[in-house]
Amino acid sequence: MSFDEYCLEQYLSDDSYFYLWRNRPSVIIGLNQNAYSEVNLGFLEEKGICLARRVTGGGAVYHDLQNLNYTLVGREVTPQPVVDALRRLGVPAELTGRNDIYVDGRKVSGYARRVWHDRQIVHGTLMYDVDLDTLVRALDVPGSKLEAKGIASVKSRVANLKDFLPQFRNLDGFQAAMQEMLSDGDGELPFGEERRAAVRRISEEKFSTWEWIYGQSKAADLVRSGRLACGTVEVRLSLDRGVLTGVEFGGDFLGGLPAGQLAARLAGVRFERAALRAALAPHPDEVSRYFDGVSADDLLDLFFGA
């Protein structure tokens, strides 16, 4: 994300240019999305999946090392060259009206656009052999419509390009072919250590921060429920910019003290485990006074849908 922003705003060129890239398992949410209502944060934490926010709009996407990403930068750029390259490889790809590339009625790519002065960037995914089970779990918020529909229905709407490209043994071969066709004989642009250092600074100061990833999240209400040692607990969490503005507990649970007292303590706390644990449990048995037999970690697992 930092590399994209640097290229758009600081790597100026009279000609359009592109690059292809891959990254470890990650979920990238759109500029205007709420991290807590769009992503299964408990699953991401369990699996060590990175969460990032981009500067373009649109929905959340899942990347892994079997997904090939592309970025095009220039005064007027579109994903049409990517579609044309796929077609030259024998894939009947087509652009749709909602920032997607489809093959035989199934989605293989999503893309987004950002304009900066007289320049713009288009970046998107090309699912080659992505783990679709993990994709679904990562984007499946507990209690969401996606969860109700299940994995099978999501799989029916997406496809991996590997199924349409029998001529390649692996993603490396596909990437090399796309690189060759998109460059069409043009040369490479230099990108020295000074520029790399600038990209790292942008990452450290912006894209890696809690304020950017979570603090940009607009207001939202989350409802979680589960069976704990004390009984059934339902909690409604009101969030704005990544901070709890209200907490309400309900259910048939047992506890010695009114849960509302504990809820009031959480107002104004960042919605992250370390901050919430500190607020919930100044003493080891604090939470169990409100919820019989329940620890702070049990309650946090409920909060985060683990």
Q: Name the 3-class secondary structure at 183.
A: helix
CA–CA separation, 177 and 22 (whole Å): 15
Closest CA to 278 of 236, 44, 286: 286
Q: In order along the chain (306 residues), what is the average pLDDT of each group of 10 residues?
A: 95 93 94 84 91 89 95 94 96 87 91 91 94 90 52 62 94 96 92 96 96 84 87 88 89 85 90 89 82 91 83
pLDDT of 124 reads: 94
Rounded Cα gap, residues 279 and 92, in angstroms = 55
- pLDDT recorded at residue 144: 53
Q: Which domains does the chain show, CATH number per domain?
A: 2-213 (3.30.930.10), 220-303 (3.30.390.50)
- What is the 3 state secondary structure string of 212-254? HHCCCCCCEEEEEEEEECCEEEEEEEEEECCEEEEEEEEECCC
